[in-house]
Structure formats: C-alpha cells, structure tokens
C-alpha cells in the first residue's frame, strides 16, 4: 500500500470527501509507529514485525558495548521493546539473556558458563561472554521495529487503517492526558 492508498481507505471509513485525504496522509507515519508498538505488545502479532537477523546488526567494541543509536534511527528498532525480541552472537546458538541492569550483569551467576548476557544503558547495549568475559564482534537482532509502508505485511494493512483512523478521532483531551502522564 502507498501512503495515498491508506489515506483513501481512512477517508472511506470516516465518510470524508476527497480533499480531506491530504490531512489523513500526513498521519500515516504516526499510524505506523502506533501499529508497531501495538504489534510489539501483542505476543500473537509480534512475529509480523521483527527485524531480519542478517541485516540488523551492531558491532560490540572491545569493552563489550554496542551503540544502538544507528539501529534506532535507520532500522527503526523499537529500543523500548528490545527485550521482546532475540539478540544473537556467533559464539552461541542461544540468544543473549537479558539481565535487569548493569549491577546484575556484572555479578557472577551460575549460568555464566552457558549463556551470554546483555543489558541496556541508554542506547548502549552491554554484552558479556561466557564466564563474564567481555563480548566482541557483531550482534544480530531479531527485534520489534517500526516498518515502512513497503515493509508492512499485507495482513497488517487493515490494522494500519485502524490506527490512522484512531489518530483522527482522538480528541485534544486524549493528548492532554498523555502529557500529564
């Protein structure tokens, strides 16, 4: 679907005439963001919007830290939903295990020999190898992301129209409530 086609479908739902479509078209990107969050939160829908492992990578430096800002800005990775996906390193067949924070990450635990671990500080991902050794090299990500229209699976087209329509019928009060939070 194109942005224009989404706007046409929204206009049909809203019973709006042709000129209103331009206004709707401007909301398609916002709709995609909302849909991505909804999909990430829904365990059944999540597989629809997961980044491909081969092309979604980040490099760990010698201290075992990977800056994810490029993945966030270019690959539209949802960093706040990173834990709902899987992160892999070539040294293990199993995905990295999440720990709550850097304190937990630095403490030895009984699975150190078996599992790689990681935690997030800001947009930096810290990774530990076996037996607490710093992990280096490339990490591959299969994690929730915000798709472009071209990346959106056709099964989710209708959900996108839902989200854009939802944005249109929100009242200013809804936004006020958000900002109060």
5 touching another protein, by CB under 8 A = no
Instruction: Out of 22, 121, 133, 138, name the contact with another protein by CB under 8 A.
Output: 22
Choosing from 1, 9, 12, 20, the residue that interacts with another protein (CB under 8 A) is 20
Looking at residue 98, what DSSP letter applies? Answer: E
Q: Supply the minimum distance, in Å, between the C-beta of residue 85 and another protein.
A: 27
Q: Which stretch binds another protein (CB under 8 A): 24-32, 50-58, 85-93, 152-160?
A: 24-32
The one segment of 12-20, 33-41, 72-80, 94-102 that binds another protein by CB under 8 A: 12-20
Instruction: Tell me the C-alpha distance between 171 and 167, whole Å.
Output: 9
Q: Is 23 in the site for another protein (CB under 8 A)?
A: yes
Q: Do the beta carbons of residue 143 and residue 85 sit within 8 Å?
A: yes
First vs last Cα of the chain: how many Å apart?
34
Taking the complex as a whole, the smallest distance from the CB of residue 16 to another protein amounts, in Å, to 6
How big is the chain by its Cα radius of gyration, in Å?
Answer: 20
Strand duo 117-121 + 97-98: pairing: parallel
The DSSP letter of residue 18 is G
Q: Which of 21, 18, 32 is nearest to 161 (CA)?
A: 32
Among 1, 10, 13, 18, binds another protein (CB under 8 A): 18
Report the interface residues with another protein, using CB under 8 A. 2-4, 16-23, 25-26, 28-29, 149
């Amino acid at each position: 679907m194109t942005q224009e086609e989404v706007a046409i479908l929204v206009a049909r739902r809203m019973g709006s005439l042709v000129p209103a479509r331009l206004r709707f078209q401007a909301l398609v990107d916002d709709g995609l963001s909302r849909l991505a969050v909804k999909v990430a939160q829904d365990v059944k829908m999540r597989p629809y919007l997961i980044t491909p492992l081969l092309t979604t990578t980040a490099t760990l430096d010698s201290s075992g830290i990977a800056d994810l800002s490029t993945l966030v800005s270019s690959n539209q990775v949802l960093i706040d939903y990173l834990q709902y996906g899987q992160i892999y390193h070539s040294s293990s067949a199993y995905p990295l295990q999440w720990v709550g924070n850097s304190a937990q990450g630095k403490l030895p635990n009984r699975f150190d020999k078996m599992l790689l671990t990681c935690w997030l500080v800001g947009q930096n991902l810290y990774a530990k190898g076996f037996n607490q050794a710093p992990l280096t090299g490339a990490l591959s990500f299969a994690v929730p992301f915000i798709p472009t229209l071209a990346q959106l699976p056709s099964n989710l087209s209708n959900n996108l129209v839902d989200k854009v329509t939802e944005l249109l019928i929100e009242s200013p009060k809804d936004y006020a409530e958000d900002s109060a939070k």
